Amino acid sequence: MLLSVCFVTPFLFTGCSEKIEEPVLPPSVTPSEKELAKSAFVAFTQNLDSIPVVERDNAVQKFLTRNPVSPVIEESSLACFFWYGKADTVMIQGDIQMAWTGADTMKAINCGDSTFFFKIYSLPKDARIDYLYLVDGVETIDPRNPVITPSGFGNHSQCAMPAFVPDTIRDYNSNIQHGTVDSLKFGSASSANGSRTIKIYKPFGFDSLKNLPSFYINDGLKAIEYCSYINILDNLIASGKISPVVVVFIEYKEGDQDFS
């Protein structure tokens, strides 16, 4: 099969006479005094800070027995993140910090050989966020959070608030027909990166691809692995939300970003 591949990058154009709206910033994630006043976690940290240093490790161990999983969720909106161990500084970064553009320093309580670090946020009751800790500058997942989210940048810890409802559009549905995915190598004599893998999604029931619309996804292999694009396409087509479509997933090569 002869395949002609065109590398395209989508652009959004706005009419010259149209007003470009400023981006809407998220609401403050700083807890209110009312929220903090009712927090058992806050009460624990205040008590921990007030007792002698030699007694703090024992108090933390009792807390960890009662709360083995981080973060502690209170009042359906407070997310109380904590880290305990030997470190000078611990920071938290993720979706809360304007889509990973910064990091917040966690408060620290000296407990002798170890330190109790914590940070409290007020989040929407249906929020789901990814995050990482920076322990003395080293990125690490939350060791007390068993929920891990893979990404193109490595594993992240995940926090889902009580009212979060996951979208099933990414799930595999055994009750519908499924498209097929072919894989091939595409080479270019003018490319310093040599060949790259191309995966082609074909909707169910279409032996001929003539007259079908096509889309080209750069960094497409990660889109399949981390974003479940194949399941999404199957589900959208089966539900009639989109027409059958051919999708070409193109492997990322270093330097592709220079053409976007």
Domains along the chain with CATH numbers: 33-162 (2.60.40.10), 170-259 (no CATH)
Q: How far apart are CA 164 and CA 126, in angstroms?
A: 4
pLDDT of residue 211: 84
Report the SS3 class of residue 217.
Answer: strand
pLDDT at residue number 138:
97
Whether omega before 143 lies within 30 degrees of 0, making that bond cis, reads no
In angstroms, rounded to a whole number, what is the distance separating the alpha carbons of residues 190 and 68?
56
What's residue 166's pLDDT? 84
Rounded distance between C-alpha atoms, residue 142 and residue 221, angstroms: 27
C-alpha neighbours within 13 Å on the C-beta side of residue 201: 27
Question: What pLDDT score does 6 carry?
Answer: 36
Please tell me the predicted confidence (pLDDT) of residue 27: 56
pLDDT in tens, the chain (260 residues): 333 333 333 333 233 333 333 333 345 788 889 999 999 999 999 999 999 999 999 999 999 999 999 999 998 899 999 999 999 999 999 998 877 888 999 999 999 999 999 999 999 999 999 999 999 999 999 999 999 988 878 899 999 999 998 888 989 999 999 999 999 988 776 656 678 899 999 999 887 778 899 999 988 988 888 889 999 999 999 999 999 999 999 998 865 555 55
